[in-house]
Homo-oligomer: A and B are copies of this chain.
């Protein structure tokens, strides 16, 4: 199974990049499953029913989120109503929505999709390391294919979480920092891993937000209203190929596409 995963979609530029680029990517890459993280899709914070409908209409199969999903309190019913929209599964019991689901692809394969959040330099939610163990105890009976979006701040917690899952899940992809990392690899046991997928949002920005307001925050330490930047967006993602029988990952490749022919040609590794 080939999975296309797209990182945190930021605001209208991010949504428009998905709408304009996803059809071509689906044609080019022929993924069996398209997953996107939409925690910043609604003006930079949260997601709405209308956005979710549009994402599904563009060809998205499952939506993950993160800490910002709670920002739109009027839309939280969505998390209870729509099993294809996940929120991190290690919020306390009783939180709206679900942290994982087992989905059947159009080609008939079953795959578990899991959303978890880190705690290092973040809010003190339940332990994600024990959470994945519990979730795997439930999903492993149904399918060996398991994709995890681990939404976390520090590289140490994310890399450690990858090792914790190595050989037990198909893929651990990081989100939240909005900057793609160049450390994609297959961990021992066949687990595809990347520390952060990067965002789908405006390139000339501070992780998706307008540069001037973000700079003002750092320079003054006073509150400045941040809003999503305008301009050309870049779509960051990963493409992961799994063995349908074993759930082991064969490969993980980074993806970075711009809506326009962007003047900066991304440089290749030496």
Contact = CB atoms under 8 A, between A and B. Distances in A.
Interface of A: 29, 70-71, 73, 91-92, 94-95, 119-127, 129-130, 153-157, 159-161, 163-164, 177-186, 188, 195-196, 198, 204-207, 211, 214-215, 217-223, 239, 251-256, 264, 266-270
Contacts of A129: 215, 218-219
Contact of A267 (B70, B119, B252): B252
Max count, chain B CB within 10 A of own CB: residue among A164, A184, A204, A207 = A207
B270 A92 contact: no
Contacts of A252: 267
A269 B268 contact: yes
A124 B119 contact: yes
B124 A159 contact: no
A264 B94 CA distance: 36
- Majority secondary structure of chain A interface residues (helix, strand, loop or mixed): loop
Contacts of A195: 179
B206 A254 contact: no
Tell me the number of copies of this protein: 4
Given A160-B218, A255-B270, A181 B180 contact: yes
Contact of A256 (B122, B182, B219): B182
B198 A183 contact: yes
A215 B164 contact: yes
A205 B188 CA distance: 12
Nearest to A183: B179
Contact of A253 (B154, B215, B268): B268
Given A92-B221, A164-B215, 8 more contacts: A92-B220, A155-B178, A160-B211, A161-B218, A163-B206, A179-B183, A182-B256, A252-B267
Nearest to A263: B186
Contacts of A188: 204
Contacts of A159: 179, 205-207, 214
Given A182-B182, A264-B186, A215 B163 contact: yes
A220 B160 contact: no
A91 B215 contact: no
